[in-house]
Amino acid sequence: MKTAKMAALLGLAMVAGTASAQTITQGNAKFQMLTPAFSVTNGDSFYYQDNNFTDWQYKYTWYWRQQNNNSNSLFAKFDSPTTFVSGNKMRLTWTNTGAGVSGFERLTGEFVIVLKDGPNPRQSRVFTRATLGSHPGNAAARVFNFFHLCDMDLPGGVPNPAPDDSQNFSGNTGTFTEASSFEFAKITSDGSQSRHDTASGAALRGLLSSGSGDLSNNNGPFSTDGAFAYQWTWTLNPGETRTVRVGQGVNTEAYAVDPCSADINLDNAVDDADFVSFAGAYNDLLCPALPAFCDADLNDDGVVDDADFVIFAGQYNDLVCPW
């Protein structure tokens, strides 16, 4: 039941201390994770719409499994990330985490999470860019599995909202949809995943929090309150990284990559005001040093150059951001 889940999450918030939670805001939306990020088995995130304290999310986390330490684990099981938060953006960085001794099968990870508030009530999006890799000091190529779990909690029927929820996976788009009587949410990926799953939140948390289970490519539909998960399986050489993108949308389409990333001033349009900001960064070329964000680096390659100008020009031509 959602009431029980909310009580459990509030209890965790009291233990962790809301002052220590990582929080990003934009407009009337807020996305918050308990600390350390990706370290709690049960509820670990809040996703508020329109400043009315209606929470739409129970869990938004990442897990991993290493070749020799063959057990699924929450990403922050062994250490906490370096965290940088600025406005609607958050950067979480792990440089040397994992089981065993350093130099054996450690991993690295950087998560950039961006929140965008929609122009209409109860509309927002969250974008995540995850760069995951094998630590440069590892001795040899290793097989790594990474998992992303998203458990939404949509407002629904009365008195218990959970039973009117349903979930399904659209294989041709790689998109999960959860719907209640009144609202809907979607989560989508860039299509690079190896497996996916639609099931109860308890089942997916149990699978990914212990043992070495893989997702089962279950498309659903799943009735009542459920959750979604993706899995990536890679063989990575020492120092090799790969980047994946996932996104979620509340009462709107979800995108893995922000279709309006050139909206630098966050007014849901790409116009002359954004051009002034972009032109200044384009003239400077180089981005500020990490961990600061570089809003005009639209392709995330660390510089503001002609490739970013092409992206900006296309969105500037469209003017209005798609919602």
Q: How far is CA 82 from CA 111, 171, 215, 245, in A?
A: 11, 35, 29, 20
Q: How far is CA 145 from CA 67, 135, 173, 231, in A?
A: 8, 14, 22, 7
CB 58 within 8 A of CB 201: yes
Percent of the chain whose pLDDT exceeds 70: 89
Give the per-residue pLDDT at 9: 41
**Domains defined along the chain, listed by start:** 2-250 (2.70.98.40), 272-318 (no CATH)
Q: Which of 30-44, 97-111, 227-241 has the lowest mean pLDDT?
A: 97-111
What value does the mean pLDDT of the chain take? 88
User: Which residues on adjacent β-strands are paired with residue 46?
Assistant: 32
245 or 15: which carries more pLDDT confidence?
A: 245
CB 316 within 8 A of CB 270: yes
Give the pLDDT band of residue 10 (cuts 50, 70, 90): very low
Q: Which of 74-88, 157-171, 174-188, 242-256 has the lowest mean pLDDT?
A: 157-171
Give the pLDDT band of residue 294 (cuts 50, 70, 90): very high
Give the per-residue pLDDT at 296: 96
Give the per-residue pLDDT at 103: 65
- Decide if pLDDT at 15 tops 90: no
How many Cα atoms within 13 Å fall on the side-chain side of residue 72? 25
CB 84 within 8 A of CB 24: no
Name the region of 182 (left: φ>0; alpha: ψ -120 to 50; beta: rest). alpha
- Decide if pLDDT at 53 tops 90: no
- Decide if pLDDT at 236 tops 90: yes
Determine the length of the chain. Answer: 323
Q: How far apart are CA 282 and CA 280, in angstroms?
A: 5
Token digits of residue 231: 């899995």
- Decide if pLDDT at 157 tops 70: no
CB 183 within 8 A of CB 250: yes
Best CA proximity match to 68, nearest among 140, 147, 149, 148: 140
Q: How far apart are CA 64 and CA 52, in angstroms?
A: 35
Percent of the chain whose pLDDT exceeds 90: 71
Q: How far apart are CA 290 and CA 267, in angstroms?
A: 26
The set of residues, in sequence order, having a beta carbon less than 8 Å from that of 7 and lying 6+ positions away, is: none
Give the pLDDT band of residue 154 (cuts 50, 70, 90): confident
Give the per-residue pLDDT at 101: 67
Which residue is associated with the tokens 């009291």?
Answer: 14
The one-character DSSP state at 320 is B
Give the per-residue pLDDT at 188: 97
Q: How far apart are CA 25 and CA 224, in angstroms?
A: 29
Residues 11, 12, 15, 21, CA torsion sign: negative
Burial of 10 (0-12, 13-18, 19+ CB in 10 A): middle
Token digits of residue 314: 């296309």
- Decide if pLDDT at 163 tops 90: no
Please, what is the end-to-end C-alpha distance for the chain in angstroms?
31
Which residue is associated with the tokens 């290793």?
Answer: 142
Q: What is the pLDDT of residues 86-125, one digit of tens each?
A: 999 999 999 988 876 666 778 999 999 999 999 999 999 9
How many Cα atoms within 13 Å fall on the side-chain side of residue 281? 23
- Decide if pLDDT at 43 tops 90: yes
Q: Which of 12-16, 40-44, 113-117, 300-304 has the lowest mean pLDDT?
A: 12-16
Q: Which of 98-112, 220-234, 254-268 has the lowest mean pLDDT?
A: 98-112
At 194, which amino acid appears? S
Three-class SS of residue 314?
Answer: helix
